[in-house]
Amino acid sequence: MTVPATGWRGGPVVRGLSIGLTTGLFFGALALLDSGLLVAGAIVFVVMGVAMGVTTVRRMNRYWPGSADFTGAERMTIVRAARRGYRVDDPRLAAGVVDYSAGLRAAAERLYPYRWVVWLVLVVALGTAAWDAVAGSVRETAASCVYLGLLAIELLWWPARRRELLLHSALAAALAQQVLEEPGDDERTASAQEP
């Protein structure tokens, strides 16, 4: 659910390919850096690309099943509004903002109990980085430093960003709910014509 708005542009296949290619390239490059073997980078590219492409799109569809009711441009508008805390005036899109925000909260709540895994991985990564610095090559040490940097982002930057996203989505959902509760044009016209 934390995929940026541009990741919601296409249908499930396009989203899976774009997410899979991006993730596969990133982790494949890390594997190539770590091992120095093109074959290792290619294997990681394929495995991570397929795994992340498929699982991410499945999660996206599970947490926001109503996304299929919107075009790619509408999904991007909904996701941007929710992630930034903006109001959308179209009632149809407002309903999408409410649904997307609920899915974003559900995804965050589901992953929260597993935060301890990041700390465990950090301990292992620190040990690996220390070993690589003493006994490994410069390439292995550089790869370990990249992994430590990613973990630092996960531990230091991401929690605050996640809170910000959840606050923005709650604000956007409240604004969208106001749009949904406003009387429509037909109701305003009818009430204006009443004696």
Which pLDDT tens digit goes with each residue over 82-115? 999 999 999 999 999 999 999 999 998 887 777 7
Q: Which two tokens stand for residue 177?
A: 């709910």
- By residue count, the chain amounts to 195
If pLDDT is split at 50, 70 and 90, which confidence band does 37 have?
A: very high
C-alpha 8 chain-centroid distance: 10
Please give the Cα distance from 19 to 43 (Å, whole number).
17
* Coil/strand/helix, residue 2: coil
Tell me the pLDDT tens digit for each residue of 121-135. Answer: 888 888 888 888 888
Q: Which two tokens stand for residue 179?
A: 């749009």
- Which DSSP letter does residue 68 get? G
Any idea where the domains of the chain sit in the sequence? 1-73, 81-177
Distance (Å, rounded) from C-alpha 50 to C-alpha 36? Answer: 22
CB contact at 8 A, 90 and 19: no
**What pLDDT score was predicted for residue 188?**
47
CA end-to-end span of the chain: 50
Q: What is the DSSP letter of 129?
A: H
Backbone angles phi, psi at 3, to 5 degrees: -65, 135
Among 55, 52, 62, which Cα is nearest to 99's? 62
Lowest mean pLDDT segment, chosen from 116-130, 136-150, 180-194: 180-194
Q: On the CB side of 53, how many CA atoms lie within 13 Å of its CA?
A: 21
Q: At what angle do helices 38-63 and 12-35 cross, to 10 degrees?
A: 150
Give alpha helix (H) positions in 36-193: 38-63, 72-84, 91-111, 115-135, 138-152, 158-181, 185-193
pLDDT at residue number 1: 59
pTM score of the predicted model? 0.81
Angle at 120 between CA 119 and CA 123, to 5 degrees: 90
